Amino acid sequence: MAEKRYSIELHENATTGKTMRLLMGLACLAVSVWFMYSIRGTAASVGTSWIASGFLLMFGIWMIATGLGYTERYITIGDDMIVLRQYFYRKPLTFVPSTLRAVEFRPVVIDFITETGKITLRMGTTYPERTASIMEAVKQFCHRHEIEVIGAMPDELEEGSGS
């Protein structure tokens, strides 16, 4: 099985969206720098003006970072490991079969149970087809490496209810 990467963002990361975020960030950055330059030493140079322009500057930097992909959240499932980047400010977590004790499936949630604790991935209901494919890929990884699977995936719960 080839390595497969899934986005766990709440929005699509298409090229158009990234480009728009990058352009918006550059515009915010330019406007905030211009405003800071133009108000220095004038009567308009009060604390609230500096706070507002500082906020606009930080927002511009954030938009540029998202446009360049630095804040992207994802899960990558490969032959011999799972890489999970759930928070932009932390390093990605790497799960290998030797460190995973079990994986628990709940509706729109996957719990990775390791030797050191439990890491919960909450996927939400925004893109149900993406959630289902991530859960299926993790389940296949577990079966391939004989990792204990706890709980049932949402489609298995529906089949088991019997109609």
pLDDT one-digit tens code per residue, 7-57:
877 767 788 888 999 999 999 999 999 999 998 888 777 888 899 999 999
> Is a pLDDT exceeding 90 seen at residue 58?
yes
Cα distances (angstroms) measured from residue 147 to each of 79, 107, 120, 133: 14, 20, 17, 19
Computed over every residue of the chain, the mean pLDDT equals: 84
Q: pTM of the predicted model, to two decimals?
A: 0.72
Q: Which residues contact 25 (CB under 8 A, 6 or more apart)?
A: 59, 60, 61, 62, 63, 64, 65, 66, 67
Tokens of 73: 């959240």
Domain ranges of the chain: 8-68, 74-160
Indicate the pLDDT class of residue 156, thresholds 50, 70 and 90.
low
Read off the amino acid at residue 55.
F
Over pLDDT 90: what percentage of the chain?
21
- Options 3.40.50.300, 3.40.50.1370, 3.90.1150.10, 2.30.29.30; CATH of 74-160: 2.30.29.30
